[in-house]
């Protein structure tokens, strides 16, 4: 199958209205009056973000969702995406069909459509560029945290890192259901897309948690010129992560990456689909306490180099 046959068979059915059936050189992102277009891009590579034998529909979901989580953390509602694919020459029709099916399901779930992309050959690598909208001037930035704010996070932290550890062969005695829960979180992130509009209404600063909770909160601290204190006993951990890592669960969970949740600062005392995990103070950097005592953690989050 040549490149154009692949595009016509598997990707044209996913194309949005302004993609011209994936038969033109460029597409159009229809402007929305009174809105800013928010853009983000992420690549996933085999061995780092997924394993070659992972189910292809989950690989598709992951590359889309790691982008949707960036938009969600900015308070943006997703609309479209571009897909750049480098495929091994040995790729099968079954693989492509399952990959496209994963995209189709997520397009429905998140209300996005495909605008175009590029296809070439080489070691499997996949990039998505996603587009979303916020009312003009309302994107939630990393800067803006205020002293006295509370720090909140959506979802649970460390699940995906636990799944990766298991897939890499870390020994464990978990029941199958717990193991599957964690490996599914690694393969298919659960970004807080439906929370974006509420986040926009309450957050002073926000970041996508992708390189580790402590590391990503460090970006808010640096850009906002404040200090952040994370109260470890408040960090939401799932039962499978607690079972996997025991006494080490907190330290590992806040330093592994791949969570694709939103961490944000907002006035204290708020309730919603998120957990209060700490506060914004005068100073710099992020510290972790357990029952009021500071705990040392490895310095950095996930870094490629
Ligand atoms: P170019 O020659 O400019 O690289 P192509 O011939 O590669 O353009 O692409 C033809 C059309 O197919 C374009 O509309 C492009 O956006 C679309 N396309 C190519 N690869 C993909 C892909 N992986 N996913 C979605 N659309 C794609
Ligand atoms: Mg091309």
- Residue 104: the pLDDT is 98
- Residue 301: the pLDDT is 58
- Residue 274: the pLDDT is 98
Dist. CA 55–CA 180, nearest whole Å: 14
The total number of residues shown for the chain amounts to 305
Q: How far is the CA of 119 from the centre of ligand 1 (A)?
A: 6
Distances in Å between the Cα of 170 and the Cα atoms of 121, 127, 140, 245 are: 33, 29, 38, 10
Distances in Å between the Cα of 110 and the Cα atoms of 45, 184, 189 are: 23, 19, 13
Mutate to test the pocket of ligand 1, among 5, 7, 59 (most ligand atoms within 8 A of CB): 7
- Residue 299: the pLDDT is 54
Say if ligand 1 is within 6 A of residue 17 CB: no
- Residue 249: the pLDDT is 97
Dist. CA 264–CA 262, nearest whole Å: 6
**pLDDT < 70: residue spans in the chain:** 298-305
Give the strands of the sheet with 113-121, arranged side by side: 35-45, 125-135, 77-87, 113-121
> pTM of the full predicted structure?
0.95
């Amino acid at each position: 199958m040549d490149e154009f046959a692949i595009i016509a068979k598997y990707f044209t059915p996913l194309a949005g209205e302004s993609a011209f059936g994936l038969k033109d050189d460029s597409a159009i992102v229809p402007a929305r009056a009174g809105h800013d277009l928010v853009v983000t891009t992420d690549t996933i590579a085999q061995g780092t973000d997924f394993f070659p034998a992972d189910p292809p529909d989950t690989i598709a979901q992951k590359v889309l969702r790691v982008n949707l989580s960036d938009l969600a953390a900015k308070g943006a509602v997703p609309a479209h995406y571009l897909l750049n694919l480098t495929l091994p020459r040995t790729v099968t029709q079954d693989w492509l069909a399952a990959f496209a099916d994963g995209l189709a399901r997520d397009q429905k779930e998140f209300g996005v459509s495909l605008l175009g992309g590029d296809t070439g050959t080489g070691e499997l690598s996949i990039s998505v560029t996603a587009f979303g909208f916020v009312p003009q001037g309302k994107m939630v930035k990393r800067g803006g945290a205020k002293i006295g704010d509370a720090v909140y996070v959506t979802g649970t932290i460390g699940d995906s890192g636990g799944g990766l550890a298991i897939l890499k062969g870390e020994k464990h005695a978990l029941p199958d259901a717990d193991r599957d829960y964690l490996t599914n979180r690694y393969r298919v992130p659960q970004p807080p897309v439906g929370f974006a509009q509420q986040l926009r209404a309450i957050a002073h600063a926000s970041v996508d948690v992708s390189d580790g909770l402590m590391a990503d909160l460090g970006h808010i601290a640096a850009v906002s010129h404040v200090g952040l204190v994370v109260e470890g006993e408040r960090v939401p951990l799932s039962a499978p992560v607690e079972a996997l890592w025991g006494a080490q669960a907190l330290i590992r969970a806040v330093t592994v990456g791949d969570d694709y949740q939103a961490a944000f600062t907002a006035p204290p005392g708020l309730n919603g689909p998120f957990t209060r995990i700490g506060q914004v103070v005068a100073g710099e950097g992020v510290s972790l306490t357990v029952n009021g005592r500071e705990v040392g953690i490895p310095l950095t989050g996930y870094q490629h180099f």
